[in-house]
Amino acid sequence: MVSARLRPFGTTIFAEMTRLAIEHKAVNLSQGFPDFDGPAFVRDAAGAAIASGKNQYARPYGEVPLVEAIADWHERGTGLRVDPLAEVTVTSGCTEAIAACMLGLIDPGDEVVLLEPYYDCYRACVAMAGGVAKFVPLRTPTEAGGVFTLDRAELRASFGPRTKAVLLNTPHNPTGKVLTREELGWIGECAIEHDAIVISDEVYEKLVFEADHPHVSIATLPGMRERTIVCSSIGKTFSLTGWKVGWAIAPERLTAGVRAAHQFLTFATATPLQHGAAEALRRADEYVPGLVAELRESRDMLAEALASLGFGVTRPEGAYFIMVDHSAFGDGDDVAFCKRLIERAGVAAIPPSAFYNEKSLGRSLVRFAFCKKRATLEEAVRRLRAGLNGSAVR
Ligand SMILES: Cc1ncc(COP(=O)(O)O)c(C=O)c1O
């Protein structure tokens, strides 16, 4: 039994892919989590919190050391100072932050603009709130080496009198696109014109690879801070995706909506992990630059290998996914191609049509995650060479 709101979403293709991957003992480049551990000093801090009795319900909006660490982290990243007690809400992962934004701020019938492809929970969260999703495509590159692009006219056309919010993600999963200041400006101008809220999912905020293309938070653009909720978490930045410690940063009027939902969704997030997360944010410089350097090398290695095999490669500027075109290997769709990859090459990837409303846009694409040990990536490349070599038609 599934409610009418969630019935259209069925079970995702990921369950089927995972089953196949296990059956074929595939190297797993499908899911977006590292196969290495997060920093010891963060794990130790959580262990110490457990040992010292920090084991009862947390402050519902976040333990004070954590909200203070988040406010400082946000200031270091954006130059914006927020009130840690009034404008930061700790949630169980960025996912809960997004759900709380939707359930606490969207009324039935309100429209929410999503960039597609979108992270899969977005659409379901809009539906759970009774909202109506509107889609703007990130267009696939037309030439080799190109990037995914946002079209200003298409963006404008997706806003209307019922638009209540736009939910964006940068750096972007699954394309690896980092939205430019100009593109963020277009989104901001539409939001202001329609008096819409901006929900900005920035879970990959530190995972950017090009010095001349930094991550920009839309909250820093003129007139945007007062209408923006910045959502993030420690999961990706500190390779601790299982911790599910996230947050929403917003002015008090928007925080009111987030908290209205959060208090009844989870009420509070695991107390000792919040203390570990605070240590992570305070000592980020001991870990994050090294992670970014390793991910950049992994990206370059995988991008080069995939290009040499015949995939149409777009180099991601951020996050830890690479979305490539598989048309050179025949005209099957992305699901068929991913099944073939598992069965013939023993490598699991994600068929991205699941991230699109307009499924045809994802048909020729496939997403690989590169947040994996070098040995895992090398084994995946070896298997791809053996399983696909020679089958590309150029
Ligand atoms: C764009 C995006 N947002 C949110 C999440 C989930 O974040 P969390 O694990 O903190 O809930 C993910 C995880 O893959 C993601 O890719």
The full set of domain ranges for the chain reads: 7-38+288-388, 40-283
pLDDT in tens, 220-230: 999 999 999 99
User: What is the per-residue pLDDT across 89-126, written as a single tens digit (0 to 9) for each?
Assistant: 999 999 999 999 999 999 999 999 999 999 999 999 99
Band of residue 13 on the pLDDT scale cut at 50, 70, 90:
confident
Distance (angstroms) between ligand 1 centre and the Cα of 255 equals 20
CATH no. of 7-38+288-388? 3.90.1150.10
Q: Which residues contact 38 (CB under 8 A, 6 or more apart)?
A: 238, 239, 240, 243, 280, 287
Q: Percent helix, strand, coil in the chain (nearest 5)?
A: 45, 15, 40
pLDDT over 80 (residue 52): yes
Query: Which positions ≥6 away from 90 have C-beta within 8 Å?
Result: 58, 61, 62, 63, 66, 67, 70, 245, 246, 247, 268, 269, 274
Using 50, 70 and 90 to split pLDDT, how confident is the model at 213? Answer: very high
Contact 91, 85 (CB under 8 A): no
Structure tokens at 255: 């925080």
Q: Is the CB of 321 under 6 A from ligand 1?
A: no
Give me the mean pLDDT over the 13-35 stretch: 89
DSSP state of 57: P
Residue 174 CB less than 6 A away from ligand 1 = no
CB 266 within 8 A of CB 258: no
| 40-283 CATH choice from 3.10.20.340, 3.30.9.10, 3.90.1150.10, 3.40.640.10 | 3.40.640.10
Give the Å distance between the CA of 90 and the centre of ligand 1.
15
- Per-residue pLDDT of 256-312, as tens digits, reads 999 999 999 999 999 999 999 999 999 999 999 999 999 999 999 999 999 999 999
pLDDT tens digit sequence for 174-207: 999 999 999 999 999 999 999 999 999 999 999 9
Confidence class for position 14, pLDDT limits 50, 70, 90: confident
Pairwise CA distance, residues 81 & 79, whole Å: 7
Q: What is the pLDDT of residue 393?
A: 59
Judged against a pLDDT cut of 60, whether residue 247 lies above it is answered with: yes
Taking the centre of ligand 1 as the mean of its atom positions, its distance from the CA of residue 202, in whole angstroms, is 9
318 lines ligand 1 (CB under 6 A): no
Q: So what's the pLDDT on residue 66?
A: 98
Q: How many CB atoms lie within 10 A of CB 132?
A: 16
Cα 94 to middle of ligand 1, angstroms: 6
Beta strands in 125-169 (DSSP E): 132-139, 149-150, 163-169
**Pocket probe mutation, ligand 1, options 30, 89, 95, max atoms within 8 Å of Cβ:** 95
Q: Determine the distance separating the centroid of ligand 1 and the alpha carbon of 236, expressed in angstroms.
A: 8
pLDDT, residue 140, reads: 86
Instruction: Supply the pTM of this predicted model.
Output: 0.97
Alpha helices by DSSP H, listed for the chain, are: 13-23, 40-51, 64-78, 84-87, 93-105, 121-128, 152-158, 181-193, 252-265, 271-282, 288-309, 334-340, 374-388
The answer to whether the CB of 93 is under 6 A from ligand 1 is yes
Pocket test for ligand 1, best of 94, 199, 281, 322 (most atoms within 8 A of CB): 94
Average pLDDT, whole number, for the chain? 95
Q: pLDDT digit string (tens) for 324-379?
A: 999 999 888 999 999 999 999 999 999 999 999 999 999 999 999 999 999 999 99
